[in-house]
A and B are shown apart, each in its own frame.
Chain A
Amino acid sequence: MIKTIAKPVKRCVTGCGECRSTCQSACKTSCTVGNQSCERVTREEKIEKRK
C-alpha cells in the first residue's frame, strides 16, 4: 500500500519575488525555504475561492 499524502499542485519556476525573504520570517540563522508557501499561488487560490 502506498498512499499519496501530498504532491505539488503546480511546479513553477517563476522567481517573481513576491514571497517574503526567508531570513525575515523568524529564524535569522536556520532558514528553511520549503516551509514557505508561494504567495502568488496562495493569493490566486484565495481570489479563485471568492469567485
Chain B
Amino acid sequence: MTAEATLVEAVWGLLHRALQLYRDDPRATGRLRGELARLEQPLRVAIAGPWRSGRSTLLNAIMGEEVAPVEGADGDTFFTWYEDGERPHATAYSTGHPPQDLTVVKSATGMRVDLVGWRAGELRDIVVRWPTRALRQLTLIDTPPVTGPDEHGRAAVLDRVLRDADAVLYLTRDGRASDLRVLTAARDSATGQAAPVNMMLVLSRADEVGGGRVDALLTARQLARRMHRDPAVGALSLNVLACSGLVGLAGRLLTGSEFAALAELARVPRAELEAYLLSAERFLRGEPPARVDAAQRAALLDRLGLFGVRLATTLVRTGCDSRTKLSAELIRRSGLTELRESVSRLFIDRQETLKARSALVGLEEVLRAEPGPGSAELLGSTERILAGAHEFQELRLLATLRGAGLGFDAELAAEARRLVGGDGVGLAARLGFEHDAPAHELWQAAAEARWRWRDRADDPLLRLPQRRGAQVVVRSCEGMLATLAAGGR
C-alpha cells in the first residue's frame, strides 16, 4: 500500500539525517548503516523457545531441508542465521577472532556445518547461506534455548532475539505458565511499547500431545485455538498455532523408499499392526509380517516418530496411495501449511512495518546512547512516527483487541480486527474476500465499512477508547479506498 511506502520513506529519511548528525562517530555510523541495510534485507524471523521445544526441527520443516541445528561438540548452540545465497556457505563470528569460513558438508537431505576446533562459548553467531526458495523473503534465525527471567526479570537470549529479529515464532510444548511469563517480561521490558506484538506462539511437538494418539494433531489444534481465544495469550501473540515440526519435515522429505515401506506396513491388517505400533520398542524389535527390515523401520521411526508412523500408515490405508499424496497430507496435518500461511499473512505481508519498527527502535537506542546537538530533535521525530504512523496505530489497536478488548461485542471486535489487518494486510483479507474478488466488490465493502465505522467513531454513547479505535478502523478503510482508487490491490 502507498501508506507503507511513506512510512518506510520517513524512516529512511530519519536514518539519513541521523547519519549526517553522527558522521564523526564511527560506532554510531556503523550501527545506523546496519539499520539502513536491514531495511533493504529480507525480514528476519527468529525461532525461539525453551530447551527441547523443537526449534531446529521446526526450522528444518519450514526450510524443507535438514540444515539445523548447528551445534558445538558439547551441544552448545548459537544464534544461527539462515540467509539466501548462491551456494552453500557458512561463516563463524566469534568473540575473539575475525570472521572465519566453516566447512559445509552436504548430505542427502540437507547439510551439516563442521565445528571442529572451536571451544565452548567462543562462537557468537554463525551465518549460513543456503540456496532455497523459503529464504527468498525471510531470514530465519535459530536461537539458543530461552531460559526463564533472571532476578532482574530479564532473559538475555530473548532480549537479543527481540533486538535482532523483526518477528518471532515462540515455541512452547504446552503453553505453560512459565513460558508465558517469559513473554510477558519481554513485552514489558525492552523494545518499543509502541508496536507491541510481533510474535506468534507455536505449540511445537504437537504430535506428542496426549501420548501420541492418532488424533493428537487435531486436539493440539483445538488446544491452540482455545489458547488463542484466551486474552492473556492473545495480548502476547498475533496467533497461536499447533505444529508438529517432525511430521511436517517428514512430509517434505518423504522419499519413495520410505513411502514403499509405509505402504508395505499398511498392508498388514490394522489390528495386527497396532500391536507393533504400541511402542517404539515393539516397532523396532518386533517382527511385523511385512517385508520391512529393522534398519528401514528404524529409519522410519527416526524420520516420522511413532506418532508419524501411526498417522502415515493410517493415511496410506485410507487413500493416500502415492508418495506425493501422502507427503501433502502429512504436511497439511502437521500444521506446517497453516504456519507458513500465518507467517506469510502476518509477518511477510507486513514486513515493511515490522522492519520500519525495528529500524526506529535501533535508531532510538543510538540517539539515547549518544546524545548530542540535534539528537533531541531526531528523537522527537522518531517518537512522532512511532506514535503517529497509521501502521503502528493499527498494530496497537490489534493488540488491544486481542488482549483486554475495547468492550466491543465479539462480532464487532472480529470485524475491527479483520479491517485493521489482523487476518492479513492484503485488501481482500482485510475485507474478508477471497483474494481474487473483483475490485468493485472490494470498493463497495470498503466504503460500507468506512461509513459504519465512521458512525461509531462519532457515536457519543461509546466510550472514548472505543471511539478512538473506531477512528483507526475508519482510517484503515480510507487507506484501502485510496489504494483501490489508485488501481492497486
Q: Do A and B bind each other?
A: no
Interfacial residues, chain A to chain B (CB-CB below 8 A):
none
